[in-house]
Structures are given as C-alpha cells and as structure tokens.
Structure 1
C-alpha cells in the first residue's frame, strides 16, 4: 500500500509539473505575442504622429498663403480636411522607396481663372526626392457669402484684400514618380 501511495504521489507530481510547464509555455507565448504585436502599435502611433505633423504643415502653408499669395483675411478649411489629405499622402507615399521622406509636395489652389501655386513642401530636404505629389485644393463656390463677408467685400472703407476664401471638402492629388520612366502619373480625386 505504501508503494501505491508513492506511485500516486509521483503521478500527481508529474501532472502538476506538466500543468506548470503548460502554464509557463502559455505565459511565454502570450509574452511573445504581445511583443510581436507591439511593433504594429508603434507603427500606428508613428503613422498618427506623422499624419498629424503633415496636417500641421498643410495648415501653416495655408496660413502663410492667405497673406502672401491669396491676399485674403481668412481661409475657411472644412473640418478634418487637412487630416484626410495627410492620410491620403501617407497612403500614396507608402509604396515608395524612401516613403514620405522622398516626397516633394506642391500645394495649389484651383480658382475659376486657373490654378495658383501656394507652396512647395519637402518633408525631408536632406533626401533626394523620388516622387512628386501635387495637391490641388478646390474653392467652394457654391456657398453664398455671409452678410459679414458681403459687407467686408462691398465696403469702400475696407481694403479689397479682406475677402474670405472658403475651401471645398474635395481635393485632388496627382502623383508623379521621378525614378521610373515607365511609371505613369496617378491622379486621385477625393
């Protein structure tokens, strides 16, 4: 009877040891799954930061252009337009050899008379450009001016450059690869 008792104890110890090993292996696998998933989270955070940074660059471009090129008192930008544009630019840059660092972005405004060049933005000027993107903002001509805008534009006491420019939520991105002669131009209307 003593022998059977030792056998039961040994078999219990062996099963406890197997369970302990199984729990350790599961914890180890969970740890590595978590570690492998972290770069994706880090990539998402980096992409969000880059998108936010690019949106800020576009906003400052419009801010500078309102005084120098557009000669208006303010530019009304639809909510989240610059963030949408930044995400589209990142999407188009994702397949390029240097990514966004190899991009030269030309910002233009489409007017009734034609286009106005607002600015040229190089995300990283130390990298030789591999592709060009032309961003074309569209003016919102469908909206009637507000009473305040009408008074500002029509008043003889206010300088002529005090008008308000309203941008449309739509835009156009034109991508041109600089390193490939066979690659064509990609035009995306958003």
Structure 2
C-alpha cells in the first residue's frame, strides 16, 4: 500500500509540474505575442535631444561665421541639412571610446578658392579628445546671383554684402587621435 501511495503522489507531482510548466510557457508566449503586436518604440529621447543640440550648434556656428569670417548678410541653409549632419556625427561618434564627448569639431566651408575654417569646437572640454571630426559645408554653385543682388552690390549700395547659399551635400572627415593604425575616414553625404 505504501508503494501505491508513493506512485500516486509521484504521478500527481509530475502532473502538477507539467501544468506549471505549461502555464509558464503560455505566459511566456503571451508576453512575446504582446511585444510583437505593439508598435515599435520611438527613438531614444536622449539621442533625439543630442541630435537637436548638435544641429543648433552647427546653426550657431554658421550664424557667428556670417558676421565674422564670411562677411555676408545671410546664409541660406537647406531645410534639414544641420539635422542630417547631426545624425551622421552621432553615427560616427557611436563607436568611439568616449562617444561624442571625446570629439573636437573643425567646421569649414568649401569655396571656389579652397576651404575656409569657420570654427573649432570642443564638445566637452573636461574629456581628453579621442577623435576629430572635420565638417565641410559646401557652397551651392548652381545658384546664379539675382540681378537685384548684382545691382544692389555694385551701384546703389556699395556696403551691401552678398547672400551665401549652402548645398545640401557635405563632407565629414574623421581622424582618430588614440590609434596610429586607424587612419582617416572620409564620408561624402
């Protein structure tokens, strides 16, 4: 009798374990079904905020350069150029040891005569730089100056300064400072 009693308890224990395992598996499947049914989550908020800050930093650089280096009345920037540049910069900085904090930016403008340096920016001065990024804005060469600009600049208002229009394309040059074998990465966008 004891033997049959043990057999019953073993079989009831086995059934309980199987039911428990089945319930766990069903819960797990329900969890994954809900995860797959939910829409994908929005991009990381901090990454988006960093992207906005970078874009604003590039716009501020152009604004300062307009008055000091470029000597023009206005700079026309394509609609999403600075945002696109910020995304590319974040992508290039993602594989660096200190990320974006270890970056030094050199911002240039490519002119017909060559490149003109607009500004040098250290993203975080408390971190030892690990890489340099040279961002090269390109001047839009397809735009012809309007007749009004021509006449205003030559005859009627000798102090009038020209309008600079930027191209939607740009160049990024990345140089690692901590590795001699890494070399330089050049990307045309």
Tell me the TM-score normalized by structure 2.
Answer: 0.78
| 2:170 is the alignment partner of 1:171 | yes
- Tell me the residue number matched to 1:10: none
Q: Structure 2, unaligned stretches of length 5 or more?
A: 1-15
Instruction: State the Cα deviation string for residues 23-55 of structure 1 (Å, max 9, x = none).
Output: 766666679x69xx9xx9586222111111100
Instruction: State the Cα deviation string for residues 101-139 of structure 1 (Å, max 9, x = none).
Output: 101010001111221110011221111100000011111
Q: How does 1:1-190 map to 2 (within 5 A)?
A: 41=41, 44-160=44-160, 162-190=161-189
Change (3 A) 1:43 1:130: farther
Which region of structure 1 is more displaced relative to structure 2, 62-71 or 144-153?
Answer: 144-153
Whether the aligned pair in 2 keeps the contact of 1:152 and 1:163 (CA below 8 Å) is: no
Q: How many angstroms apart in 2 are the aligned matches of 1:138 and 1:152? A: 25
Quote the offset at 1:156 in angstroms: 4.4
Q: How many angstroms apart in 2 are the aligned matches of 1:76 and 1:28? A: 51
Q: How many angstroms apart in 2 are the aligned matches of 1:28 and 1:132? A: 45
Displaced runs of 4 or more, over 4 A: 17-31, 40-43
Q: How many angstroms apart in 2 are the aligned matches of 1:148 and 1:46? A: 45
Quote the offset at 1:155 in angstroms: 3.1
Q: Structure 1, unaligned stretches of length 5 or more?
A: 1-13
Tell me the TM-score normalized by structure 1.
Answer: 0.77
Report the 3-state secondary structure (helix = DSSP H, G, I; strand = E; otherwise coil) of the residue aligned with 2:44.
Answer: helix
User: RMSD of aligned C-alpha atoms?
Assistant: 2.7
Q: How many angstroms apart in 1 are the aligned matches of 2:28 and 2:182? A: 50
Q: How many angstroms apart in 2 are the aligned matches of 1:180 and 1:42? A: 35
Q: How many angstroms apart in 2 are the aligned matches of 1:108 and 1:155? A: 32
